[in-house]
Copies of this chain bind each other. A is one copy, B any other.
Amino acid sequence: MPQIPPAQIGAAFDEIATPALVIDLAAFERNLDTMADQARRLGVRLRPHGKTHKSPLIAANQIARGAVGICCQKVSEAEIFVAAGIADVLISNEVVGVAKVQRVASLARHAKIGVCADNAEAVQALAAAADKAGTVIEVLVEIDVGAGRCGVVPGPPAVALAQEIARHRSLRFAGLQSYYGTAQHRRSPQERCDAIARAADLTTETVHLLEEAGLPCRTIAGAGTGTYPLEAKSGVWNEIQPGSYIFMDADYAKNEPSPEAPAFEHALFVIATVMSLSADRAIVDAGHKALSNDSGFPAVFGRPEVPYSRPSDEHGTLSILGSSWRPNLGEKVLLIPGHCDPTVNLYDWYVGIRNLGSADAHVEALWPVAARGAVA
């Protein structure tokens, strides 16, 4: 069962039961606008990543601002987005297993569905399922341009796989998925630039070989929040897939800003409450079950001198000795999650706050994290 919402619409900020996942609606809306504007200026299609927000309502907001559709990572996520009316969904990931490819093939009756592939056997399974369902699935060949995760080797192996896709009437070869995930978090602009330049060379070479083989790429997709201006300006990619820009997180805040990119604002927070006080520390009610600490601990909003540390399942420690701040028991604290995507996945509800930071801060929206837990 979903948890009951942590507040009612109209409630004051202080009435929210903590820990809770909150959106600063004004900052969030500015982030949406900024990226939509960026895609227009850079001349690339925007297909934001739904793995960040897991919310069809947010996806619809992105599409209303010009996005061509959305990405997700899992079949179960795609099902939720399609059921909510999103008409164009790319699973930017491999799908393996008889039952899962059947689900993809069935879904393709109700929306335009794309998936990635890096293996001929997987392509054949997709084709068989789509044949049986009487549908057509768009397939991108994923190439490994440096991340060392999924993807075929760029160049001839990618061409061979595209030829395998093109052989099947129930599949449509759509182009390349060329995403360099780990490059998003390289701290200096130069490191990110070097990484994407190398990825661009590998992608370009593959695109040319595909053209020579009579397999032009309609879509060359990739890029995240940390590098998208580089992919867009390279002239190679024509579709970008940023996700985190809507919320930002403490890990992205550690990137040195790129001169070519506008700043996105922190718009996602976990509100926590001070539940225990000692001379040197305030214990808050948000630990591993309220914050995904895989990419570093959260930052305390507005109090950079107060580190969050030593999380356990339900607690976190704020060390207050280096600060003049002396919180009261019950005081609320805004934490910027270390990593937004897996933190969102811990909650059933977004609590949308209007006028965050002012005396009139109040709950304007409760949005379900509809694909929370959609991991399969």
Q: Which A residues have a C-beta under 8 Å from some C-beta of B?
A: 1-4, 6, 15, 17-20, 51, 73-74, 76, 93-97, 99-100, 118-119, 121-122, 144, 148-151, 181, 273-278, 281, 283, 285-286, 288-290, 292-294, 310-315, 317, 329-330, 339, 341-342, 345-348, 368, 370, 372-376
Contact = CB atoms under 8 A, between A and B. Distances in A.
Given A283-B149, A313-B342, A376-B6, A368 B1 contact: yes
A276 B314 contact: no
Of A276, A285, A310, A317, which is in contact with the most chain B CB atoms at under 10 Å from its CB?
A: A276
Contacts of A144: 278
Contact of A96 (B2, B118, B290, B330): B330
Nearest to A6: B376
A149 B312 contact: yes
25 contacts: A1-B2, A1-B368, A1-B370, A3-B76, A3-B373, A19-B375, A20-B376, A51-B313, A51-B314, A73-B314, A93-B275, A93-B314, A96-B273, A96-B274, A96-B285, A97-B330, A149-B317, A288-B339, A289-B345, A313-B342, A345-B346, A346-B346, A346-B373, A346-B375, A348-B373
Contacts of A314: 51, 73-74, 93, 375
Nearest to A293: B294
Interface SS majority for chain A? loop
Of A96, A99, A341, which is in contact with the most chain B CB atoms at under 10 Å from its CB?
A: A96
A335 to B, nearest CB: 13
A148 to B, nearest CB: 8
B276 A294 contact: no
Contact of A3 (B118, B274, B278, B374): B374
Given A149-B276, A150-B283, A292-B292, 4 more contacts: A96-B273, A97-B273, A150-B315, A372-B373
Nearest first, the 5 closest Cβ-Cβ pairs linking A and B are A150-B276, A17-B376, A288-B342, A96-B275, A73-B314
A17 B118 contact: no
